[in-house]
Amino acid sequence: LQPALSANGAWLAYVGQPAGDPGGLYVRTLRGEARRLTPPGVEASRPAWSPDMARLAFVQKDARGCAVMVVSPLDGAIRQVGTCRAADLGGVAWLDADTLVVADRASPEAGFRLSRLDLETGRLKPLTDSGVAGPYLGDTDPAPSADGKRVFFVRTSTPGVADVYALDLAGGKVRRITRDNASIHGLTRGRDDRLVVASNRQSGASYSLWSLNARGSDWRRLTEDARAEYPSSSDGEAIAFQRRDWQMGLWSAPLDAGEPERLTSTSRRDRTAAPSPDGKRLAFLSDRSGSLQLWVAEADGRAHQVSDFRTEMPREPAWSPDGRSVYLSVRSGGQFDLGRVDVATGAFQLLAHTPASERYPLWSRDGARLYFIRDEGSRLSLYERAADGRERRLVEDAVRAIEAEDGVLYVQRLAAPGFWRFDRASGKLSKIGELAAVDPRSWTVAEGAIWALDGAQADQLLRLDLTTGVVAAVRSLPGVYPRAGLFVRDGRVVFSRVESENVDVYTVADRA
């Protein structure tokens, strides 16, 4: 996992996970034996070589918490150089021999930001402020330029929507480099000061490596459908990356106790399930056919592909009240728009193409309004669209909204973390409880409660009572994939479960 290639391309550091181990830091030559640098029981992540290859920086987590460490691959000497304010870091890179740039959080609820870490004093100096809060969001994957004057990084504004930015270290100015609004799983410096990203910019299901210049143009695809993540290179002559082969299906589990039961069988990945209004069918997204498409499973378990997207990337399916259509957000041309698929014919219709991205479509139960989230650049807002096309902004700073059985809207916010009840008549919000660091894709409303996956312990299902605001742990969901959605109905939770996973390290060169 998370390979890091040395400056001369001869040494590879990576995180290995033997059975029963949280993940240790290893180092090896490309054809030699691996050697472990961290003790058993200590979880390591985000390794980064120093420019002289004499040291490795990495993140360490154990019973005492999270810390930034530096280790010598030669003699194994380890020392702590910094601490984490939250449970993890979103990346580590060397600015020079005495300084790291890390993606840290100001608090467990905050989004990632870039900070300068002095190795001698351990002091952190914030460099960026993404303006967003929540898990997986903010500024990550720092990649300093060869001259040390800039730091390129990934900014994720909403789940699954990211772009590359550049920070000028002298003046502190942040500039947006790309406008893809894609999902990015890693960034590194390539040859001739180009950049290499792992992005799903042309496929909703798979991540490929792409090379681009520092202005965000001249894109070159380096791998084909390689499921590539975490690229690492110092010069682009050799780029190490991890390839993840995994299988994920839809499962159902009782809320009280009992073993999960399989709902779908596939050799690929099924995710983001949504029940039809009558409860007899299940819409979900899957890459069974090679690209991410909308599928529908019948009551007898038979599933069939409904959509035929070519370049569009579908997200967040939601049924129409009459059960004839499934509404989605689809990414095309660098932004998300709302559309619908006719379940009987498979015909796709784009509702509108606006300058802003729109996501998380949701029909009111009475069929009178379509709710959705609009990205207005500096903020996310909840809107409603009436049958006659008129729109109204309901809530600012809203990342997702879900309607309960009684028609009441519940809203998740970023700048004001927690869950809120929205009164449509008065336009007022009332906070009902605190569930910190919950991914917007991993909660739902049903049966008098908000059900969410714990942001700190992702396999734990939590229940927030809508009346009392009391939070209680319900059960564990082994193998749950928190970014693939869930729903609760008739005393059961339906979720996406990782059934098998294998990760290997590969190398590729940017020869163009």
Percent of the chain exceeding pLDDT 90 equals 59
Give the three-state DSSP class for 511.
Answer: coil
Nearest partner of 24 among 13, 33, 12, 10, judged by Cα: 13
Chain centre to alpha carbon of residue 469 = 27
DSSP annotation of 387: T
Nearest partner of 134 among 417, 508, 388, judged by Cα: 417
The string of pLDDT tens digits covering residues 296-350 is 998 887 899 999 988 788 999 999 999 999 999 998 766 889 999 999 999 999 9
Say how many C-beta atoms besides its own lie within 10 A of residue 204's C-beta. 21
More confident residue, 306 or 208: 306
Identify residue 28 by its one-letter amino acid code: R
Say how many C-beta atoms besides its own lie within 10 A of residue 259's C-beta. 8
The predicted pLDDT at position 273 comes to: 96
The predicted pLDDT at position 97 comes to: 92
Is residue 136 predicted with pLDDT exceeding 80?
no
Q: By the 8 A CB rule, do 475 and 255 touch?
A: yes
The predicted pLDDT at position 329 comes to: 93
When pLDDT is averaged across residues 155-161 and rounded to a whole number, the result is 83
The predicted pLDDT at position 260 comes to: 95
Is residue 204 predicted with pLDDT exceeding 70?
no
More confident residue, 467 or 134: 467
The string of pLDDT tens digits covering residues 339-387 is 999 999 999 999 987 888 899 999 999 999 999 999 887 688 999 999 8
In a 13 Å sphere around the CA of 372, the CA atoms on its Cβ side amount to 27
- Burial class from Cβ neighbours inside 10 Å (0-12, 13-18, 19+) for residue 498 reads middle
Q: Kindly report the average pLDDT of the chain as a whole number.
A: 89
When pLDDT is averaged across residues 453-463 and rounded to a whole number, the result is 85
Task: Look up tokens 């870091």; give the residue.
Answer: 89
The predicted pLDDT at position 453 comes to: 92
Rounded Cα distance between 269 and 91, Å, is 27
Nearest partner of 443 among 408, 418, 479, judged by Cα: 418
75-84, 171-180, 373-382: least confidently modelled range: 373-382
Is residue 202 predicted with pLDDT exceeding 80?
no
The predicted pLDDT at position 333 comes to: 66
Residue 421 backbone phi and psi in degrees, to 5: -95, 130
The predicted pLDDT at position 455 comes to: 73
Task: Look up tokens 């029963």; give the residue.
Answer: 20
Rounded Cα distance between 327 and 317, Å, is 6
More confident residue, 136 or 474: 474
Candidate CATH numbers 2.40.30.10, 2.120.10.30, 3.40.50.300, 3.30.750.200; the one for domain 247-441: 2.120.10.30
Burial 408-419, CB ≥16 within 10 A → b, else e: ebbbbbbeebbb
Angle (nearest 5°) at CA 315 between 309 and 321:
95
The predicted pLDDT at position 192 comes to: 83
Is residue 501 predicted with pLDDT exceeding 90?
no
Q: Where do runs of H (alpha helix) occur along 273-331?
A: none
Instruction: Please list, in sequence order, all residues whose beta carbon lies within 8 angstroms of the beta carbon of residue 389, skipping any fewer than 6 positions away.
Output: none
Candidate CATH numbers 3.40.47.10, 2.120.10.60, 3.40.50.720, 1.10.10.10; the one for domain 86-237: 2.120.10.60
Rounded Cα distance between 313 and 327, Å, is 13
Rounded Cα distance between 390 and 387, Å, is 7
pLDDT tier for residue 282 given thresholds of 50, 70 and 90 = very high
Rounded Cα distance between 477 and 474, Å, is 10
Give the three-state DSSP class for 340.
Answer: strand
Give the three-state DSSP class for 55.
Answer: coil
